[in-house]
Amino acid sequence: MPSLLGAPLNLDSLRLMFVENIDQVSAEQWNALHASDNPFIQHAFLAALERHGCVSQRFGWLPRHLLVYAAEELVAAMPLYEKRNNYGEFVFDQPWERAWQSVGLAYYPKLVSVIPYTPALGPRLLIAPPYRSTELLKQHIFERLIDWMTTQGYSGLHLLFSTHQPTAPRPIVRHDVQFQWFNQNYANFDAFLAQLKPKKRKNIRQERRALYEQGIRFRCLNGTQTTAKDWEAFDYFYQKTFLEKWSTPTLNRSFFEEIARTMPQHILLVLAEKEGQTIAGALMFRSQKVLYGRHWGCAEEIKHLHFETCFYQGIDYAIAEGIERFEPGAGGEHKIARGFVPVRLSSSHWLSVNPFEQPLQRFVAEERSMIDNYIASVWPSTPYQEPEALQPLAQANQTLD
């Protein structure tokens, strides 16, 4: 049995609280629970989303963060949101919503534990160091959370992009695929290219050279190095990209400027310039081991500019910084030719009422089979001369925080 200050910890005495603002717990308390340098689980990142209206009633994201206390000690927490839509989750459940509606059941509201608008792996259930290895505590918290979810009228609890996938209470498990890049201790970008098939290597060099010959140059900045002018330019690119795709931009300049100030070591802003003008930008985040690509935009469409800004600059940076892995975001088979390989991801789901238990089990089994078959079909298309060296890294990816 886990202990609290040397005394037995009574699981039934744990107190669960749900707060509508992450500032109801201090940054020191929150960050002490996870002891991770994953940028998105940091109090500063989540608080900035709330302070600047990026998560709100307007966008269908309502904070309901879970705090777990033993007496007066905060022993666990979870970023948690009430959702009235599925925007910004990247695990698509519209068929489930339609099925619920077909039998007169409400699919919304639901509870989601994920970082808003961020399909990146990371911790979700945060537990204080003395209790972190205690599976009974994790199971107990999930059982209590699911009970609360049911009594409050939520249709389900959804744990997305979590590096820990609980097995009890037994969830419905879904699968998906992303493309990620793995650093094999490359000395430089040329050493990375040397591992690729000659034709792929030549194509990447031609793409990079074409931009250089047009006079396009790049600046890679951490949060401390950025200026208000840099964020003005990037915010324009970000807003433009979403609006041109008939989508909803949820982040804003004040959010960008705050995280640059409060978590500068986690920021990588890549800016492309031509003739003294900033023409494109990509916002990335980093931990010690992982680089995360998130958002990009440009003033004008230039061939290969997206690949260089979002992929090659990130790979260059990861090699120089000794970063082990590069997650450039969801989707995109075009990443394969640039050295990114398929990685299977999973998510866990608990439903308050499930009128489709057998059909859903068939659905997730077929989904996993489809994803596995797709990954197997993609590996021969990777540009590496010896792709089998990367397969163990891709398969072990979910255990990396």
At 36-58, the pLDDT tens digits run: 999 999 999 999 999 999 999 99
Least confident of 8-12, 124-128, 172-176, 251-255: 8-12
Confidence of residue 388 (pLDDT cuts 50, 70, 90): confident
At 98-120, the pLDDT tens digits run 999 999 999 999 999 999 999 99
Structure confidence at residue 394 as a pLDDT band (50, 70, 90):
confident
pLDDT above 50 (res 211): yes
CA dihedral sign, ordered 198, 204, 207, 210: negative
Total of domains in the chain: 2
The domain spanning residue 113 has which CATH number? 3.40.630.30
* 5 pLDDT more than 70: no
Letter string b/e over residues 317-334, b meaning 16 or more CB atoms within 10 A of that residue's CB:
bbbeeebbbbbbbbeeee
Position 398 in a domain: no
Q: Are residues 125 and 89 in the same domain?
A: yes
Residue 398's pLDDT is: 47
**Among 6-20, 197-211, 256-270, 330-344, where is mean pLDDT lowest?**
6-20
Whether 392 is covered by a domain: the verdict is: no
Averaged confidence pLDDT in the chain: 93
Q: Among 6-15, 29-38, 292-301, which stretch is predicted with the lowest mean pLDDT?
A: 6-15
Residues 76 and 168 in one domain: yes
Residue 401 in this model has a pLDDT that exceeds 70 = no
Tell me: do 75 and 199 sit in the same domain. Answer: no
pLDDT of 2: 47
211/240 same-domain check: yes
Residues 163 and 194 occupy one common structural domain: no
Residues 6+ apart with CB under 8 A from 383: 196, 197, 200, 201, 336, 337, 338, 339
What is the pLDDT, as a whole number, of residue 131? Answer: 86
In a domain, 400, yes or no: no
Same-domain pairing of 283 and 359: no
364 within a domain of the structure (yes/no): yes
Question: Domain residues for 14?
Answer: 3-176+345-379
Residue at 399 is within a domain = no
Is 244 part of a structural domain of the chain? yes
DSSP assignment of 15-79 equals EEEEES-GGGS-HHHHHHHH----GGGSHHHHHHHHHTTSSSGGGTEEE-EEEEEETTEEEEEE-
The predicted pLDDT at position 280 comes to 98
Helix (H, G, I), strand (E, B) or coil at 311: helix
Same domain, 156 and 77: yes
In this predicted structure, what is the pLDDT of residue 122? 94
Whether the per-residue pLDDT at 204 is higher than 60: the answer is yes
Q: Is the pLDDT of residue 389 over 90?
A: no
| pLDDT score at 8 | 58
Q: Let me know whether 111 and 91 are in one domain.
A: yes
- Report if residue 258 sits inside a domain: yes
Q: Looking at the predicted structure, is the pLDDT value of residue 399 above 70?
A: no
- The pLDDT assigned to 134 comes to 80
Has residue 396 been placed in a domain? Answer: no
**Residue 397 confidence class, pLDDT cut points 50, 70, 90:** low
| pLDDT above 70 for 166 | yes
- Same domain? For 172 and 205 the reply is no
Output the pLDDT for position 154.
97
- Looking at the predicted structure, is the pLDDT value of residue 33 above 80? yes
pLDDT at 400 over 50: no
Report the greatest alpha carbon distance in the chain: 68
pLDDT given for residue 301 in this prediction = 92
**What's the confidence (pLDDT) of residue 339?**
95
Residues 105 and 189 in one domain: no
Rounded-to-integer distance, Cα 248 and Cα 227, Å: 25
Q: What is the mean pLDDT of residues 326-336?
A: 89
Shared domain for 98 and 199, answered yes or no, is no
* Predicted confidence (pLDDT) at residue 1 exceeds the cutoff of 70: no
Mean pLDDT of 351-358: 94
Domain match, 223 and 241 both: yes
Q: What is the pLDDT of residue 165?
A: 83
